[in-house]
Homo-oligomer: A and B are copies of this chain.
Amino acid sequence: MIRQLINGASEAPLSILDRGLHYGDGLFETMLVANSKIIHLVDHLYRLRDGCRRLNISTPSSETLVSECALLLGDVKEGVIKIIVTRGDATRGYRYADNQVANRILILYPPVHYAEQNWRCGITLRVCQTRLGSNRQLAGIKHLNRLEQVMARAEWNDDDIAEGIMLDAAGNVIEATMSNVFMVENEQLMTPDLSECGVAGIMRKNVIDSAQTLQIPLKIENIPLQRLVCADEVFICNSIIGIWPVIAIAKQGFELGPITSKLMNLLKVLPSA
Protein backbone atom coordinates (compact mmCIF):
# COMPACT_ATOMS: atom_id res chain seq x y z
CA MET A 1 0.00 0.00 0.00
CA ILE A 2 1.18 3.50 -0.80
CA ARG A 3 0.39 6.52 1.38
CA GLN A 4 0.71 10.13 0.33
CA LEU A 5 0.69 13.67 1.68
CA ILE A 6 0.52 16.70 -0.59
CA ASN A 7 1.35 19.92 1.24
CA GLY A 8 0.40 18.14 4.43
CA ALA A 9 -2.98 16.78 3.31
CA SER A 10 -3.59 13.11 2.57
CA GLU A 11 -6.57 13.67 0.27
CA ALA A 12 -5.27 16.70 -1.63
CA PRO A 13 -4.93 16.36 -5.39
CA LEU A 14 -1.72 17.23 -7.19
CA SER A 15 -2.13 20.44 -9.16
CA ILE A 16 -2.10 19.86 -12.88
CA LEU A 17 -0.02 23.03 -13.11
CA ASP A 18 2.76 21.73 -10.85
CA ARG A 19 6.14 22.73 -12.29
CA GLY A 20 7.54 19.35 -11.31
CA LEU A 21 5.28 17.77 -13.91
CA HIS A 22 5.75 20.47 -16.54
CA TYR A 23 9.50 20.93 -16.37
CA GLY A 24 10.95 18.54 -13.79
CA ASP A 25 11.41 21.76 -11.83
CA GLY A 26 12.06 20.29 -8.41
CA LEU A 27 14.03 17.88 -6.25
CA PHE A 28 13.59 14.58 -4.50
CA GLU A 29 14.94 12.50 -1.65
CA THR A 30 14.48 8.76 -1.22
CA MET A 31 14.88 7.61 2.38
CA LEU A 32 15.02 4.20 3.99
CA VAL A 33 12.71 3.52 6.94
CA ALA A 34 13.99 0.74 9.21
CA ASN A 35 12.68 -0.07 12.70
CA SER A 36 10.41 2.99 12.52
CA LYS A 37 13.42 5.22 11.99
CA ILE A 38 14.20 7.30 8.90
CA ILE A 39 17.84 6.55 8.17
CA HIS A 40 20.13 9.54 7.51
CA LEU A 41 17.14 11.88 7.77
CA VAL A 42 19.23 14.92 8.65
CA ASP A 43 21.59 14.34 5.71
CA HIS A 44 18.62 14.09 3.34
CA LEU A 45 17.01 17.27 4.66
CA TYR A 46 20.32 19.07 4.40
CA ARG A 47 20.84 18.00 0.78
CA LEU A 48 17.25 18.95 -0.06
CA ARG A 49 17.81 22.42 1.40
CA ASP A 50 21.05 22.75 -0.52
CA GLY A 51 19.33 21.71 -3.77
CA CYS A 52 16.51 24.22 -3.17
CA ARG A 53 19.10 26.93 -2.63
CA ARG A 54 20.95 26.07 -5.84
CA LEU A 55 17.74 26.02 -7.91
CA ASN A 56 16.29 29.04 -6.07
CA ILE A 57 13.27 27.02 -4.92
CA SER A 58 11.68 28.13 -1.63
CA THR A 59 12.79 25.62 1.01
CA PRO A 60 10.07 23.93 3.06
CA SER A 61 11.04 24.08 6.74
CA SER A 62 12.75 20.99 8.11
CA GLU A 63 10.29 20.99 11.02
CA THR A 64 7.38 20.75 8.58
CA LEU A 65 9.01 17.94 6.61
CA VAL A 66 9.95 15.99 9.73
CA SER A 67 6.45 16.21 11.16
CA GLU A 68 4.89 15.31 7.81
CA CYS A 69 7.19 12.29 7.54
CA ALA A 70 6.04 11.19 11.01
CA LEU A 71 2.38 11.67 10.06
CA LEU A 72 2.90 9.74 6.82
CA LEU A 73 4.71 6.95 8.60
CA GLY A 74 2.23 6.44 11.45
CA ASP A 75 3.02 3.05 12.96
CA VAL A 76 4.69 1.69 9.83
CA LYS A 77 8.11 0.28 10.74
CA GLU A 78 9.72 -0.54 7.37
CA GLY A 79 9.49 1.14 4.00
CA VAL A 80 10.75 3.91 1.77
CA ILE A 81 9.76 7.56 1.97
CA LYS A 82 10.14 9.73 -1.10
CA ILE A 83 9.97 13.49 -0.65
CA ILE A 84 9.42 15.52 -3.82
CA VAL A 85 9.70 19.29 -3.55
CA THR A 86 8.71 21.24 -6.66
CA ARG A 87 8.95 24.96 -7.30
CA GLY A 88 5.15 25.16 -7.08
CA ASP A 89 2.36 25.77 -9.53
CA ALA A 90 3.00 27.43 -12.87
CA THR A 91 1.39 29.79 -15.22
CA ARG A 92 2.51 29.11 -18.80
CA GLY A 93 6.21 29.41 -19.60
CA TYR A 94 9.56 28.73 -17.97
CA ARG A 95 9.63 31.96 -16.00
CA TYR A 96 8.75 31.69 -12.34
CA ALA A 97 7.52 34.25 -9.84
CA ASP A 98 9.80 35.46 -7.05
CA ASN A 99 7.26 34.59 -4.38
CA GLN A 100 6.52 31.08 -5.65
CA VAL A 101 5.69 28.64 -2.82
CA ALA A 102 7.08 25.12 -3.22
CA ASN A 103 4.83 22.05 -3.27
CA ARG A 104 5.66 19.17 -0.91
CA ILE A 105 4.77 15.69 -2.10
CA LEU A 106 5.51 12.84 0.33
CA ILE A 107 5.01 9.21 -0.60
CA LEU A 108 5.45 6.15 1.60
CA TYR A 109 6.24 2.95 -0.29
CA PRO A 110 6.36 -0.57 1.14
CA PRO A 111 9.84 -2.00 1.85
CA VAL A 112 11.89 -3.17 -1.14
CA HIS A 113 13.14 -6.74 -0.92
CA TYR A 114 16.42 -7.30 -2.73
CA ALA A 115 18.16 -10.66 -2.67
CA GLU A 116 20.42 -11.01 0.36
CA GLN A 117 23.19 -12.30 -1.89
CA ASN A 118 23.50 -8.79 -3.37
CA TRP A 119 25.17 -7.79 -0.09
CA ARG A 120 26.83 -11.08 0.80
CA CYS A 121 28.14 -12.23 -2.57
CA GLY A 122 28.07 -9.09 -4.66
CA ILE A 123 26.41 -8.08 -7.91
CA THR A 124 27.04 -7.81 -11.64
CA LEU A 125 27.07 -4.44 -13.42
CA ARG A 126 26.71 -3.57 -17.05
CA VAL A 127 27.97 -0.46 -18.83
CA CYS A 128 25.10 1.62 -20.24
CA GLN A 129 25.13 3.11 -23.72
CA THR A 130 23.14 6.12 -22.51
CA ARG A 131 25.54 8.88 -21.53
CA LEU A 132 25.12 11.65 -18.98
CA GLY A 133 25.09 15.19 -20.36
CA SER A 134 27.30 17.62 -18.46
CA ASN A 135 26.02 20.76 -16.80
CA ARG A 136 28.00 22.24 -13.93
CA GLN A 137 25.00 24.25 -12.75
CA LEU A 138 22.87 21.14 -12.17
CA ALA A 139 25.65 18.68 -11.28
CA GLY A 140 25.31 16.88 -7.96
CA ILE A 141 21.69 17.97 -7.41
CA LYS A 142 19.03 15.28 -7.01
CA HIS A 143 16.60 17.12 -9.29
CA LEU A 144 13.61 15.74 -11.19
CA ASN A 145 15.20 15.73 -14.68
CA ARG A 146 15.92 12.00 -14.82
CA LEU A 147 15.28 10.95 -18.41
CA GLU A 148 18.90 9.89 -18.85
CA GLN A 149 18.56 7.45 -15.95
CA VAL A 150 15.23 6.18 -17.31
CA MET A 151 16.76 5.56 -20.73
CA ALA A 152 19.81 3.87 -19.22
CA ARG A 153 17.73 1.59 -16.97
CA ALA A 154 15.65 0.55 -20.00
CA GLU A 155 18.75 -0.91 -21.69
CA TRP A 156 18.52 -4.27 -19.93
CA ASN A 157 15.92 -6.70 -18.61
CA ASP A 158 18.24 -9.42 -17.35
CA ASP A 159 17.58 -9.73 -13.61
CA ASP A 160 21.09 -11.08 -13.08
CA ILE A 161 22.40 -7.58 -13.79
CA ALA A 162 21.70 -5.43 -10.76
CA GLU A 163 22.84 -2.04 -11.99
CA GLY A 164 24.26 -0.14 -14.96
CA ILE A 165 27.25 2.18 -15.00
CA MET A 166 26.77 5.55 -16.66
CA LEU A 167 29.57 7.48 -18.34
CA ASP A 168 29.84 11.10 -19.36
CA ALA A 169 30.45 12.08 -22.98
CA ALA A 170 34.22 11.75 -22.47
CA GLY A 171 33.90 8.15 -21.25
CA ASN A 172 34.49 8.81 -17.57
CA VAL A 173 32.53 6.77 -15.05
CA ILE A 174 30.11 9.08 -13.21
CA GLU A 175 27.65 6.88 -11.35
CA ALA A 176 25.24 4.00 -11.86
CA THR A 177 21.58 4.58 -12.74
CA MET A 178 20.39 4.65 -9.09
CA SER A 179 23.63 4.58 -7.13
CA ASN A 180 27.14 5.98 -6.77
CA VAL A 181 30.27 4.04 -7.64
CA PHE A 182 33.46 3.51 -5.63
CA MET A 183 36.61 1.59 -6.49
CA VAL A 184 39.77 0.54 -4.68
CA GLU A 185 43.17 0.72 -6.36
CA ASN A 186 46.35 -0.07 -4.39
CA GLU A 187 44.43 0.24 -1.10
CA GLN A 188 43.23 3.69 -2.08
CA LEU A 189 39.50 4.39 -2.29
CA MET A 190 38.33 6.40 -5.31
CA THR A 191 35.00 7.80 -6.47
CA PRO A 192 34.16 9.94 -9.51
CA ASP A 193 34.26 13.70 -9.40
CA LEU A 194 30.66 14.95 -9.75
CA SER A 195 31.27 18.60 -10.53
CA GLU A 196 30.03 18.30 -14.14
CA CYS A 197 27.24 15.70 -13.79
CA GLY A 198 25.84 12.99 -11.54
CA VAL A 199 24.01 12.93 -8.23
CA ALA A 200 25.95 13.41 -4.99
CA GLY A 201 24.33 10.61 -2.99
CA ILE A 202 23.80 10.56 0.76
CA MET A 203 25.35 7.11 1.07
CA ARG A 204 28.30 8.35 -1.02
CA LYS A 205 28.80 11.08 1.58
CA ASN A 206 28.58 8.49 4.38
CA VAL A 207 31.12 6.25 2.66
CA ILE A 208 33.47 9.21 2.29
CA ASP A 209 33.06 10.04 5.99
CA SER A 210 33.59 6.39 6.94
CA ALA A 211 36.76 6.20 4.88
CA GLN A 212 38.11 9.04 6.97
CA THR A 213 37.11 7.25 10.19
CA LEU A 214 38.85 4.08 8.97
CA GLN A 215 41.85 6.09 7.74
CA ILE A 216 41.44 4.77 4.21
CA PRO A 217 42.97 7.28 1.78
CA LEU A 218 40.39 8.67 -0.67
CA LYS A 219 40.67 10.38 -4.03
CA ILE A 220 37.79 12.10 -5.85
CA GLU A 221 38.69 12.47 -9.50
CA ASN A 222 37.81 11.53 -13.07
CA ILE A 223 37.78 7.75 -13.51
CA PRO A 224 37.91 6.47 -17.09
CA LEU A 225 35.98 3.22 -17.54
CA GLN A 226 39.17 1.29 -18.23
CA ARG A 227 40.56 2.27 -14.85
CA LEU A 228 37.41 1.08 -13.06
CA VAL A 229 37.55 -2.24 -14.83
CA CYS A 230 41.15 -2.73 -13.65
CA ALA A 231 40.32 -1.92 -10.01
CA ASP A 232 41.04 -4.24 -7.07
CA GLU A 233 37.56 -3.75 -5.61
CA VAL A 234 34.40 -2.02 -6.80
CA PHE A 235 31.16 -1.30 -4.97
CA ILE A 236 28.04 0.77 -5.43
CA CYS A 237 25.93 2.50 -2.81
CA ASN A 238 22.71 4.38 -2.22
CA SER A 239 20.41 5.19 0.68
CA ILE A 240 18.14 2.20 0.18
CA ILE A 241 20.62 -0.58 -0.52
CA GLY A 242 23.53 0.73 1.55
CA ILE A 243 26.51 -0.91 -0.16
CA TRP A 244 26.60 -3.73 -2.70
CA PRO A 245 30.01 -5.17 -3.61
CA VAL A 246 30.54 -5.58 -7.36
CA ILE A 247 31.89 -8.94 -8.52
CA ALA A 248 31.60 -8.40 -12.26
CA ILE A 249 31.46 -5.57 -14.78
CA ALA A 250 30.58 -6.99 -18.18
CA LYS A 251 33.08 -9.89 -18.35
CA GLN A 252 35.60 -8.57 -15.84
CA GLY A 253 35.45 -10.30 -12.44
CA PHE A 254 36.31 -8.80 -9.04
CA GLU A 255 36.80 -10.14 -5.52
CA LEU A 256 34.69 -8.88 -2.65
CA GLY A 257 37.70 -7.18 -1.07
CA PRO A 258 38.76 -6.09 2.41
CA ILE A 259 38.15 -2.34 2.09
CA THR A 260 34.60 -2.91 0.83
CA SER A 261 33.99 -5.26 3.78
CA LYS A 262 35.37 -2.79 6.30
CA LEU A 263 33.11 -0.01 5.01
CA MET A 264 30.10 -2.36 4.96
CA ASN A 265 30.76 -3.31 8.56
CA LEU A 266 31.22 0.25 9.77
CA LEU A 267 28.09 1.42 7.95
CA LYS A 268 26.13 -1.67 9.12
CA VAL A 269 24.61 -2.20 5.69
CA LEU A 270 24.33 -5.98 5.82
CA PRO A 271 20.70 -7.11 6.07
CA SER A 272 19.97 -8.64 9.47
CA ALA A 273 19.88 -12.43 9.33
Query: How would residues 134 to 157 of chain A score, 1 for a CB under 8 Å from any chain B CB and 0 otherwise?
Result: 111110000111111111111000
Alpha-carbon distance A147/B146, docked complex (angstroms): 11
B134 and A169 form a contact (CB under 8 A): yes
Alpha-carbon distance A144/B145, docked complex (angstroms): 8
- Report how many residues on chain A are interfacial, defined by Cβ distance under 8 Å: 59
Q: Does A84 contact B (CB under 8 A)?
A: yes
Query: How would residues 12 to 30 of chain A score, 1 for a CB under 8 Å from any chain B CB and 0 otherwise?
Result: 0111111111111100101
Copies of this chain held together in the complex? 2
A153 and B93 form a contact (CB under 8 A): yes
Interface of chain A residues 89 through 130 with chain B (CB within 8 A) = 92-96, 105, 107, 109, 112, 130
Q: Does A1 contact B (CB under 8 A)?
A: no
- State how many angstroms separate the Cβ of A124 from the closest Cβ of chain B: 16
B28 and A16 form a contact (CB under 8 A): no
Which residues of the partner chain B approach A25 to less than 8 Å between Cβ atoms? 146-147, 150
Q: Which of B15, B18, B21, B135 contacts A133 (CB 8 A)?
A: B135
Which residues of the partner chain B approach A135 to less than 8 Å between Cβ atoms? 131-133, 148
Q: Which of B107, B145, B154 contacts A147 (CB 8 A)?
A: B145
Query: How would residues 182 to 221 of chain A score, 1 for a CB under 8 Å from any chain B CB and 0 otherwise?
Result: 0000000000000001000000000000000000000000
Q: Does A172 contact B (CB under 8 A)?
A: no
Q: Which of B82, B146, B169 contacts A24 (CB 8 A)?
A: B146
Alpha-carbon distance A131/B133, docked complex (angstroms): 11
Of A4, A132, A153, which is in contact with the most chain B CB atoms at under 10 Å from its CB? Answer: A153
In the complex with contacts A55-B151, A92-B82, A153-B94, A21-B14 CB distance below 8 A: yes
Q: Does A2 contact B (CB under 8 A)?
A: yes
The residue in chain B whose Cβ has the minimal distance to the Cβ of A164 is B94
The residue in chain B whose Cβ has the minimal distance to the Cβ of A13 is B13
Which residues of the partner chain B approach A6 to less than 8 Å between Cβ atoms? 16
The residue in chain B whose Cβ has the minimal distance to the Cβ of A145 is B145
Which residues of the partner chain B approach A169 to less than 8 Å between Cβ atoms? 134
In the complex with contacts A80-B92, A92-B82, A147-B143 CB distance below 8 A: yes
**A interface residue numbers (CB < 8 A to B):** 2, 4, 6, 13-25, 28, 30, 55-56, 80, 82, 84, 86-87, 92-96, 105, 107, 109, 112, 130-138, 143-154, 169, 177-178, 197
9 nearest interchain CB pairs?
A133-B133, A24-B24, A145-B145, A23-B146, A94-B153, A133-B135, A13-B13, A21-B21, A94-B149
- 5 new A-B contacts at CB < 8 Å, known A2-B17, A94-B149, A132-B135: A23-B145, A82-B92, A92-B109, A94-B153, A95-B154
